[in-house]
Amino acid sequence: MTIIAAVDGSALGNPGPAGWAWYVDESCWAAGGWPESTNNRGELTAVLELLRATAHTGQDLLIQADSQYVINSLTKWMPGWKRRGWRKADGKPVLNDDLMKALDAALAGRQVRFEWVKGHAGHPANERADDCARAAATAYQRGTAVPTGPGWTHGGPAPAQPDGLLEPADSAATLATYERAAVPAPQGEVVPGATAERRARLRAQQEADGTLF
């Protein structure tokens, strides 16, 4: 059998109160977060926590994600980063390398496929993962109890897993720098001094050699 699960992250302010979530169905989902983090760290942590929760099942995994950053990082760019000692093609350190290394270890020996789904477009599982991640972020923002979900319930509970990775003592400014470097500009955003064609060529080259992230 193949487990099909959606993952998502949320950050209110980016950086700001943040959450992550994975979702299989209403009886099987989990969420968490931090007082301050970024959307990308939420997205990556959702995948990591899903891998940890399902490691004991021995089943293949199909992960539905709306983040091309996450999918490309784990399926295209990671081999090159590892060869270069977790550095990008331009020699700079890989962003979120603590999570990337943990994900690399969690993926080892697993049969995992990724499917990109458009966010906020009515995909039921993606919408619920987004709801759960945002609810966790909102709880941290308000100082209320975090809705963590039932966890893995299909075929029995998962074995106890290590606590989720703690956020480093990054300042808000540092986290903001990470996020600006890691999040593509929205479609249609005007970049001074660059034509649409030039921006498209530059992004294609950056994606090809892994320097974008």
Catalytic-labelled residue, pool 26, 85, 91, 120: 120
Distance, in Å, from the CA atom of 91 to the CA atom of 24, rounded to the nearest integer, reads 38
Catalytic annotation, pick one of 36, 49, 66, 167: 66
Active site residue 8: yes
Is there a catalytic annotation at residue 66? yes
- Kind of pairing between the strands at 112-116 and 16-25: unpaired
The phi-psi region of residue 153 (left if phi > 0; otherwise alpha if psi is between -120 and 50; otherwise beta) is alpha
Task: State the pairing for strand pair 2-11/16-25.
Answer: antiparallel
What's 13's DSSP letter? S
Check 36, 43, 167, 179 and give the catalytic one: 43
Active-site option among 16, 36, 49, 130:
130
Joined together, the tokens standing for residue 10 give 């949320």
φ/ψ of 83, rounded to 5, equals: -60, -30
Tokens for 167? 């956020």
Rounded Cα–Cα distance for residues 116 and 6 (Å): 10
Examine the residue annotation and report whether 9 is marked as an active-site residue of this protein. Answer: yes
The residues assigned a catalytic role are 8-9, 43, 66, 120, 130
